[in-house]
């Protein structure tokens, strides 16, 4: 059985992933409790690999490696720092040629095709971070699941979960949960993936 690409994002109720331009996952509209971060850690640890666009990767790269050893942070943050830096990653970027922290760079016009080959030759869940990459995988019929952590806020504007989607995509709910801070999780399988 081939691997599954799982697009995992924090979203507002109206499905924005950032409110301010280049907020990059740091918006104060999110309610990330230690309980929720423990869930993030468990899910990230279970991934066989991560695929991230340049913006998401650079946001992670600028924070999580240093967080590993920062005793001012809660243990759950330090644990995620270790998970992120150690986990095999693919960076999809036209501008970067190399990246640290167990990362391979896929650049150029064939990046999505190469990700398709990776999916076919791998197993387990591969986490996807970044709307650009997720939208391209969806358009190519390669995105298998969407994992949303919905925060109790309506932003009204910002970066959407997906860029332009030209035809409806049918989903099937396969898991849901609720966490402290009124955050809900919904995991969907994409019907035609």
The tens-digit pLDDT sequence of the chain (193 residues) is 899 999 999 999 999 999 987 666 668 899 999 999 999 999 999 999 999 999 999 999 999 999 999 999 999 999 999 999 999 999 999 999 999 999 999 998 999 999 999 999 999 999 999 999 999 999 999 999 999 999 999 999 999 999 988 899 999 999 999 998 899 999 999 997 6
How far apart CA 95 and CA 116 sit, in angstroms, is: 21
How far apart CA 44 and CA 77 sit, in angstroms, is: 12
Structure tokens at 152: 């109790």
How far apart CA 166 and CA 157 sit, in angstroms, is: 20
CATH number at residue 151: 3.40.430.10
- Tell whether 104 is covered by a domain: yes
Please report the pLDDT score of residue 26 as a whole number. 67
- Tell whether 126 is covered by a domain: no
Number of domains in the chain: 1
How far apart CA 28 and CA 131 sit, in angstroms, is: 20
Find, among 91, 131, 130, the residue nearest to 114 by Cα.
91
Please report the pLDDT score of residue 116 as a whole number. 97
Please report the pLDDT score of residue 25 as a whole number. 62
- Tell whether 179 is covered by a domain: yes
Please report the pLDDT score of residue 192 as a whole number. 76
Please report the pLDDT score of residue 13 as a whole number. 97
- Tell whether 110 is covered by a domain: yes
Torsion 127-10-83-63 (CA) sign: positive
> How many CA atoms does the CB half-sphere of 74 hold within 13 Å?
11
pLDDT tens digits for 119-159? 999 999 999 999 999 999 999 999 999 999 999 999 999 99
Please report the pLDDT score of residue 76 as a whole number. 96
| Residue ranges making up the domain that contains 92 | 4-121+131-190
Phi, psi of 8, deg, nearest 5: -120, 120
- Tell whether 14 is covered by a domain: yes
């Amino acid at each position: 059985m081939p691997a599954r690409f799982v697009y995992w994002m924090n979203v507002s109720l109206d499905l924005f992933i950032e409110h301010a331009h280049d907020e990059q996952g740091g918006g104060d509209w999110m309610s990330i409790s230690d309980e929720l971060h423990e869930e993030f850690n468990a899910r990230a640890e279970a991934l066989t690999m991560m695929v991230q666009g340049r913006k998401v990767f650079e946001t992670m790269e600028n924070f999580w490696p240093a967080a590993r050893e920062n005793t001012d942070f809660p243990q759950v943050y330090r644990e995620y720092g270790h998970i992120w830096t150690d986990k095999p990653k693919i960076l999809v970027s036209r501008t970067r040629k190399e990246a640290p922290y167990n990362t391979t760079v896929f650049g150029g016009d064939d990046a999505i095709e190469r990700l398709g080959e990776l999916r076919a030759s791998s197993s387990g869940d591969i986490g996807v971070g970044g709307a650009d990459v997720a939208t391209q995988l969806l358009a190519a019929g390669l995105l298998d699941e969407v994992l949303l952590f919905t925060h109790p806020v309506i932003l009204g504007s910002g970066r959407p979960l997906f860029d332009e989607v030209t035809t409806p995509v049918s989903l099937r709910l396969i898991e849901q949960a609720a966490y402290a801070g009124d955050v809900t999780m919904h995991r969907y399988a994409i019907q035609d993936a």
